[in-house]
Structure 1
Amino acid sequence: MNSLDNYLICNTTHLPWKEILKGNYTQPLFPFTTAIQKNGFAYLGDTHEPVPDLTQVMFYLQKNVLHYQVVTQEKGKISFAIPDIYGQDELFYLAEAKGQKIPIVKMEWNDVSIPLPHAPASTETKNADVYAASSSKRNLIDQSYTIYTSGQPLPSVAHPISFEDEIDGADITIKVQDYITFSSMEELIREISSSLYYRKKGMSGSVRIKLIPPLVATDDPLYIIDGVPTKDTDFFLSLKPSDVLILKIVKTPGKLSPLGFMGKNGILLVQTKQGNIRKPAEDSMVIEGLNKAVNFSNHNYSGGAYSQKPDFRSTLYWNSSIKTDSGGKATLQFYTSDDIGKMNIGIHGLTKDGQPFSEFKNIEVSLETKRN
Structure 2
Amino acid sequence: MVEGYNNRIALVGPPAVEYVVRETSGAEVARVTTDSTGFAIFMLSAKSGQSYSAEAGGKTFALPANTNTGVGVRLEVTSQCDLVLTIPRESSLSKKDLFAVVLNRGAMVVRQRIKGNDEETRLNVPYPNRGESFHQLFVFTADGQVVAERVFIPNPVSTLQVKLQVPAEVKQRDKISSSWELVDASGNPVEATASVTVVNDGLFPGSSLLRNLTWTDLPALSERAERFGTAVESNVNDFLITQKWQRINWENVLKEKSPAGNYAFQSEAKLKGMVISPTKGTPPPDSTVIISYLHGNNVGFEAYTRNGQFEVPFVFDFWGDDKVFCTLQSRGRNVDRSYNITIPKDTISITARWETTELNKPSVYGDYALSKELVTKSYAFFGTNQQQVSLRDKSPNAPIEEEFNGADQSVNVADYVVFPKMEDLLREIVPFAGYRKRGTEESVRISYRWEGQTRTYRDDPLYVIDGILTKNTTYFCALKPEDIVTIKVINNPNKLAQLSRLGENGVIFVETRKRDRTSRELEPTLFPVIGLSKQALPFVVQYNENSLGRRLPDLRSTLLWNPMERNDINGRASDVFFASDDVGTVRVLVRGITTDGRPFYTEATVKVAFNASPK
Fold shared by both chains (TM-score > 0.5): yes
Quick check: 1:39 aligned with 2:262? no
Corresponding residue of 2:321:
88
Corresponding residue of 2:366:
132
Alignment check: 8 A CA contact 1:63 1:161 kept: no
3-state SS of 2:328 partner: strand
Corresponding residue of 2:300:
67
Alignment check: 8 A CA contact 1:223 1:270 kept: yes
Alignment check: 8 A CA contact 1:64 1:161 kept: no
Corresponding residue of 2:556:
313
Write the mapping of 1:296-335 to structure 2, written as runs, cut at 5 A: 296-300=538-542, 304=547, 311-319=554-562, 320-321=564-565, 323=567
Residue 368 of structure 1, CA deviation: 7.9
Quick check: 1:107 aligned with 2:342? yes
Which of 176, 188, 195 is the aligned partner of 2:425?
A: 188
Take 1:162 and 1:331, find their aligned partners in 2: how far apart are those partners? 37
Alignment check: 8 A CA contact 1:56 1:97 kept: yes
Q: Name the aligned partner's letter for residue 464 of structure 2.
A: I
Corresponding residue of 1:225:
465
Which structure 1 residue ranges, 5 or more long, are not aligned? Answer: none
Corresponding residue of 2:249:
19
1:91-116 Cα shifts (integer Å, max 9, x gaps): 22222234443233413245335648
Corresponding residue of 1:282:
523
Instruction: Give the number of aligned pairs.
Output: 366
Residue 194 of structure 1, CA deviation: 7.8
- Normalized per residue, the structure richer in helix is 1
Residue 16 of structure 1, CA deviation: 1.6
3-state SS of 1:135 partner: helix
Alignment check: 8 A CA contact 1:42 1:107 kept: yes
3-state SS of 2:249 partner: helix
Q: Name the aligned partner's letter for residue 417 of structure 2.
A: I
Quick check: 1:209 aligned with 2:209? no
Q: Name the aligned partner's letter for residue 531 of structure 2.
A: G
1:262-319 Cα shifts (integer Å, max 9, x gaps): 3343333333344446734539612333333443432346755555655443333334
Take 1:329 and 1:167, find their aligned partners in 2: how far apart are those partners? 44
Which of 453, 471, 484 is the aligned partner of 1:244?
A: 484
1:242-280 Cα shifts (integer Å, max 9, x gaps): 223433344454444553333343333333344446734
Q: Name the aligned partner's letter for residue 288 of structure 1.
A: I
Which of 350, 353, 356 is the aligned partner of 2:593?
A: 350
Q: Name the aligned partner's letter for residue 366 of structure 2.
A: A
Q: Name the aligned partner's letter for residue 290 of structure 1.
A: L
Take 1:170 and 1:138, find their aligned partners in 2: how far apart are those partners? 45
Corresponding residue of 1:269:
509
3-state SS of 2:534 partner: coil
Take 2:579 and 2:405, find their aligned partners in 1: how far apart are those partners? 51
TM-score normalised to the size of structure 1?
0.75
Percentage of identical aligned residues: 27
Quick check: 1:30 aligned with 2:232? no
Take 1:301 and 1:323, find their aligned partners in 2: how far apart are those partners? 25
Take 1:202 and 1:48, find their aligned partners in 2: how far apart are those partners? 26
Take 2:332 and 2:482, find their aligned partners in 1: how far apart are those partners? 37
Residue 58 of structure 1, CA deviation: 1.6
Residue 210 of structure 1, CA deviation: 4.2
Alignment check: 8 A CA contact 2:584 2:609 kept: no
Indicate how the Cα distance of structure 1 residues 342 and 167 shifts in structure 2: closer, same or farther if over 3 A, else same. Answer: closer
Take 1:317 and 1:236, find their aligned partners in 2: how far apart are those partners? 49
3-state SS of 1:285 partner: strand
Corresponding residue of 2:34:
none
Corresponding residue of 1:295:
537
- Normalized per residue, the structure richer in strand is 2
Take 1:246 and 1:292, find their aligned partners in 2: how far apart are those partners? 33
Indicate how the Cα distance of structure 1 residues 192 and 282 shifts in structure 2: closer, same or farther if over 3 A, else same. Answer: closer
Take 1:339 and 1:79, find their aligned partners in 2: how far apart are those partners? 53
Take 2:414 and 2:593, find their aligned partners in 1: how far apart are those partners? 64
Corresponding residue of 2:102:
none
Q: Name the aligned partner's letter for residue 198 of structure 1.
A: Y
3-state SS of 2:317 partner: coil
Higher relative contact order, structure no. (Cα contacts within 8 Å, ≥ 6 residues apart): 2
Take 2:610 and 2:402, find their aligned partners in 1: how far apart are those partners? 58
Indicate how the Cα distance of structure 1 residues 345 and 83 shifts in structure 2: closer, same or farther if over 3 A, else same. Answer: same
Take 2:411 and 2:388, find their aligned partners in 1: how far apart are those partners? 35
Q: Name the aligned partner's letter for residue 136 of structure 1.
A: L
Residue 348 of structure 1, CA deviation: 1.8
Residue 151 of structure 1, CA deviation: 4.9
Q: Name the aligned partner's letter for residue 529 of structure 2.
A: I
3-state SS of 1:316 partner: strand
Which structure 2 residue ranges, 5 or more long, are not aligned? Answer: 1-108, 110-125, 136-151, 154-216, 218-239
Indicate how the Cα distance of structure 1 residues 150 and 21 shifts in structure 2: closer, same or farther if over 3 A, else same. Answer: farther
TM-score normalised to the size of structure 2?
0.49
What RMSD over aligned residues (CA atoms) do the two structures have, in Å? 4.3
Take 1:277 and 1:330, find their aligned partners in 2: how far apart are those partners? 47
Residue 217 of structure 1, CA deviation: 4.1
Take 1:42 and 1:208, find their aligned partners in 2: how far apart are those partners? 27
